[in-house]
Chains A and B, each alone.
Chain A
């Protein structure tokens, strides 16, 4: 991996975490805040064929969340390294191509598991309605935003790729 790419990932992670802690943490939707950094991590998993940049970004996010959040390290390892690694393993072994349906399923599953781990850590209580609501809202919100970002990124990728191919033909 090139040092420039590592620097880019570090900068991206830093900017996204600052947006999460300083900006989006103030804007709650049914007690849920948007984690742009996690969405970016999922996009790396969906769009990148090579897993090295995904792994590097997940380690960067782990380090940044350890600095800017109070979550204990085992939870951070679980949510930002083991869970995405498990998901990318599932994706690469059981979903051969990236279809719209598989992307939605991947985003839904990843967001649901991420929030479930946090809820279990925070103390799950069967009788608290807010817990279910936050789980549903978090999952849906991150799936919708993640899917929108995926569509935009796909269009960009297609355009850049087509330009690259045209240049190669010339």
Chain B
């Protein structure tokens, strides 16, 4: 009898393993789509609770942040007027030179975060947009105008996104001013732009943007600011640590770039 129970248990466990091993993705798709509406409302409630707590605990820092943001806003207004001027000039010059204007922005699809990977270091989120919105793997995910991740898996009514902070994330990126190209990698130690040529001139606080090489992410999406440069263990290339301009713990709504 005992022998029969052991063999039955062993067989059941083996069957579960086999089902998961061969049908993990379709099962994920089915269950994530199924729980998506419930998860979205639970997630919204959790964010509401978090916001209330944050407000009470960080009232002083919020005041400071408000002053800083007001100053930054004034600076950005000035920058924007300069950019508009440059854009007009750029368009004129392109027309003069006979360049065809290409749309870099693409269309943006708003999406809500319904689920997050409960394992802290994984940085994977689930969005409530899938094949029904023509979402495809590899598309860029943007929040506050900056790149936050890349679509990894697409289901019928939802998709899974790997955030750039994840150790599994690899994005082609470059320094905005020096134009030095590298590979953006996430991980437990933070964001790093790796494989930078050794002769790269590096300015602290320089913007790091997507280079548009390989994959489906278009060029020119802001990722973060360069913080400090380090020589890699091989000594051939350099790597730069990055400060993200997005607060990943406060992500709520994102946009998928088609």
Q: Which residues of A contact B (CB under 8 A)?
A: 17-28, 31-33, 35, 52, 55, 59, 62-63, 66-71, 73, 118-119, 121-125, 127-128, 130-131, 134, 138
Bound-state CA distance A35–B116 (Å) is 12
A119 touches B121 (CB 8 A): yes
What is the CA–CA distance of A109 and B27 in the complex, to the nearest angstrom? 33
Q: From residue B141, how far is it (CB to closest CB) to chain A in Å? A: 15
A67 touches B24 (CB 8 A): yes
Q: How many chain B residues touch the partner (CB < 8 A)?
A: 44
Which of A25, A69, A123, A138 is packed against the most chain B CB atoms within 10 Å? A25
Residues of B contacting A20 in the complex (Cβ-Cβ under 8 angstroms)? 118
Closest-CB distance, B250 to chain A (whole angstroms): 10
Contact pick for A22, options B20, B46, B120, B189, CB 8 Å? B46
* Residue in chain B with minimal CB distance to A36: B118
Known contacts: A27-B46, A27-B50, A122-B188. The answer to whether A22 contacts B119 by CB under 8 A is no
Known: A23-B42, A134-B120. A66 touches B24 (CB 8 A): yes
Give the number of residue pairs across the A-B interface with Cβ within 8 Å.
118
Bound form: Cα–Cα A106–B120 in Å: 22
- How many angstroms between the C-alpha atoms of A26 and B38 in the bound complex? 15
Tell me the bound Cα distance from A55 to B16 in angstroms: 13
Q: Are A25 and B189 in contact (CB under 8 A)?
A: no
Residue of B nearest to A30 (CB): B120
**A-side binding surface: helix, strand, loop or mixed?**
helix
Whether the Cβ atoms of A21 and B187 lie closer than 8 Å is no
The residue on A at minimum CB distance from B187 is A123
> In the complex the two chains form, is B118's CB within 8 Å of A21's CB?
yes
Contacts of B21 in A (CB 8 A): 73
Given A25-B116, A62-B20, decide whether A18 and B39 contact each other with a Cβ distance below 8 A. Answer: yes
| Chain B residues with CB below 8 A from A32, complex form | 120
Kindly provide the distance from the CB of A138 to the nearest chain B CB, expressed in whole angstroms: 8
The answer to whether B46 touches A70 (Cβ under 8 A) is no
B39: nearest residue on chain A (CB-CB)?
A: A22
- Nearest CB to that of B250 among chain A residues? A26
Query: B31 near A: Cβ within 8 Å?
Result: yes
Contact for B43 among A23, A67, A123, CB less than 8 A: A23
Return 22 A-B CB contacts under 8 Å, by A number.
A22-B39, A22-B42, A22-B115, A24-B118, A26-B46, A26-B116, A27-B50, A31-B120, A35-B118, A59-B16, A62-B16, A67-B27, A67-B32, A69-B118, A70-B117, A70-B168, A73-B21, A121-B121, A122-B121, A122-B187, A124-B188, A134-B120
B9 interface residue (CB < 8 Å to A): yes
Chain B residues closer than 8 Å to A123, beta-carbon distance = 167, 187-189
A18 near B187: Cβ-Cβ < 8 Å: no
- Report the minimum CB–CB distance from A33 to chain B (whole Å): 6
Also in contact, A131 and B188, with CB within 8 A (given A22-B39, A73-B21, A123-B167): yes
